[in-house]
């Protein structure tokens, strides 16, 4: 049984008489918990380890630092690399063991605690616990979620509580359209489509693009996890294929992805491991020429935004919202997502070879990537949009 199948079973049983009775008991216990002063603002995220989604989640929390929000983590994090990014003013609660293994009592306790507050605001992303919690919240609670992309599973186990959500945030137009299509396919009310809100992510973009000290060998970068959908083994194959063909490209891999690269290809890659220090990561971007992204699914990954902000030219598959921002031959290169793995590797090697030979074009694409990031990703409106949606503040 897959993880998604288990999650769907939990969703179906969540309001059964037995589960409801245990959760009701939990609600009574939750109401006995003391309430400290502060805004009734609650966030539910799975992790605080190193990852693109986690970086977005932390940025959202920092937008509400003045409100001292509650932040609950609902799964075991692989490391605490990005925990500091959530700031020092939020009330961070790493109670994943109690929340996960204490279900359904834990859902009731949390609901009881939240329901003690007047007009609570509850926000969640990628967390099954959050969606199991929603049916037990008082009707005055304002409930909002964030969907990074289709394919991770949350779009399925959240569907049953879509009507309880006052707003759903998507980070790109493709996910907006995917949500609308899902609603229509399931015969859901047209009014739910009006609750979908587009808020694109943002990153820090330098005021100016630092000149790159390009040598005879270019540096191609991968930054991210070694999870299945990232297909990091293809990055390793690109490294080996370039070496075999004499293409002067060094492949550098940042992240916990060593095991995701096939053993014969590891000798052709440089592994830097996870980098949680942002200045150190920025130094890696400044030193890189190309970004390799071989994913089978994405929303719009932070790594592309960060790389383009430092003039790194993305070479990516056409998944998720990437084609909306990366334009092949203008500020990056794209490989059709329908291509088989062998073709993806070949195409990326060809693009790397072209960048080695056509340095003027590489410089042009690098400047264009930076300019695009400067215009589209350094959004001062990011916090304003989230505060407006959650707190009703005007932008």
Least confident of 37-41, 103-107, 166-170, 250-254: 37-41
pLDDT value of residue 258: 96
Sheet holding 41-45, edge to edge: 91-93, 70-73, 41-45, 121-125, 142-147, 167-170, 196-198
Block residue for tokens 């002063």: 37
Mean per-residue pLDDT, 99-123: 95
Task: Cite the residue boundaries of each domain of the chain with CATH code 3.40.50.2000.
Answer: 3-202+379-391, 218-376
Give whichever of 134-138, 202-206, 389-393 has the largest mean pLDDT. 134-138
Q: Strand, helix or coil at 145?
A: strand
Beta strands in 77-120 (DSSP E): 91-93
Contact 30, 112 (CB under 8 A): yes
pLDDT value of residue 1: 76
> Does pLDDT of 253 surpass 70?
yes
Mean per-residue pLDDT, 142-148: 96
The span from the CA of 221 to the CA of 292, in Å, is 6
Report the percent of the chain where pLDDT is more than 70: 98
pLDDT tens-place string over residues 30-66 = 988 887 656 799 999 999 999 999 999 999 999 999 9
> Does pLDDT of 69 surpass 70?
yes
Mean pLDDT taken over the chain:
93
**Phi-psi domain of 246 (left: phi exceeds 0; alpha: psi -120 through 50; beta: other):** left
Spatial neighbors of 243 by CB under 8 A, at least 6 apart, are 268
Torsion sign over Cα 111, 180, 224, 379: negative
Q: What is the pTM of this model?
A: 0.87
Mean per-residue pLDDT, 302-307: 96
pLDDT value of residue 262: 97
Burial environment of residue 353 by CB neighbours within 10 A (0 to 12, 13 to 18, 19 or more) = middle
CATH 3.40.50.2000 fits 218-376, yes or no: yes
Mean per-residue pLDDT, 160-176: 94
Mean per-residue pLDDT, 111-130: 95
What is the distance between the terminal CA atoms of the chain, rounded to a whole angstrom? 46
pLDDT tens-place string over residues 338-384 = 779 999 999 999 999 999 999 999 999 999 999 999 999 987 789 99
pLDDT tens-place string over residues 222-231 = 999 999 999 9
Instruction: With both helix axes pointing from N to C terminus, report the angle between 302-309 and 52-62 in degrees, rounded to the nearest 10.
Output: 80
> Does pLDDT of 395 surpass 60?
no
CATH number of 3-202+379-391: 3.40.50.2000
The span from the CA of 351 to the CA of 338, in Å, is 18
> Does pLDDT of 123 surpass 60?
yes
pLDDT value of residue 68: 93
pLDDT value of residue 209: 94
Q: What share of the chain is helix, strand, coil (3-state, %, to 5)?
A: 50, 15, 35
Mean per-residue pLDDT, 289-307: 94
């Amino acid at each position: 049984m897959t993880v998604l199948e288990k999650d769907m079973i939990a969703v179906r049983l969540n309001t059964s008489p037995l589960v409801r009775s245990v959760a009701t008991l939990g609600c009574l216990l939750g109401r006995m918990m003391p309430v400290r002063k502060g805004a009734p603002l609650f966030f539910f995220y799975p992790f605080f380890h190193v990852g693109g989604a986690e970086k977005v989640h932390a940025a959202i929390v920092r937008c509400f630092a003045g409100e001292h929000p509650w932040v609950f983590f609902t799964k075991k994090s692989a490391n605490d690399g990005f925990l500091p990014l959530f700031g020092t003013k939020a009330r961070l609660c790493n109670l994943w063991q109690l929340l996960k293994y204490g279900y359904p009592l834990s859902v009731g306790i949390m609901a009881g605690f939240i329901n003690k507050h007047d007009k609570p605001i509850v926000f969640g992303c990628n967390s099954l616990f959050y969606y199991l919690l929603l049916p037990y919240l008082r009707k005055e609670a304002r409930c909002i979620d964030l969907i990074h992309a289709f394919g991770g599973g949350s779009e399925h186990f959240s569907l049953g509580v879509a009507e309880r959500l006052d707003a759903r945030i998507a980070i790109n137009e493709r996910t907006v359209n995917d949500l609308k299509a899902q609603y229509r396919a399931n015969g859901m009310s047209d009014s739910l489509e009006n609750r979908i809100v587009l808020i694109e992510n943002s990153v820090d973009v330098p005021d100016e693009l630092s000149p790159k000290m390009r040598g005879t060998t270019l540096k191609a970068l991968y930054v991210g996890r070694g999870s299945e959908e990232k297909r990091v083994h293809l990055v390793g194959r690109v490294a080996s294929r370039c070496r075999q063909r004499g293409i002067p490209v060094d492949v550098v891999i940042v992240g916990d992805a060593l095991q995701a690269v096939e053993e014969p290809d590891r000798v052709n890659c440089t592994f830097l491991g996870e980098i949680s220090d942002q200045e150190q990561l920025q130094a890696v971007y400044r030193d890189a020429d190309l970004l390799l992204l071989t994913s089978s699914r994405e929303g719009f990954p932070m790594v592309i935004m960060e790389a383009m902000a430092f003039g790194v030219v993305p070479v990516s598959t056409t998944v998720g919202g990437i084609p909306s921002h990366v334009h092949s031959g203008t500020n990056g290169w794209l490989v059709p997502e329908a291509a088989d793995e062998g073709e993806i590797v070949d195409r990326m090697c060809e693009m790397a070879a072209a960048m080695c030979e056509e340095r003027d074009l590489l410089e042009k694409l690098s400047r264009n990537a930076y300019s695009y990031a400067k215009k589209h990703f350094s959004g001062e409106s990011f916090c304003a949009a989230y505060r407006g949606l959650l707190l009703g503040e005007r932008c």
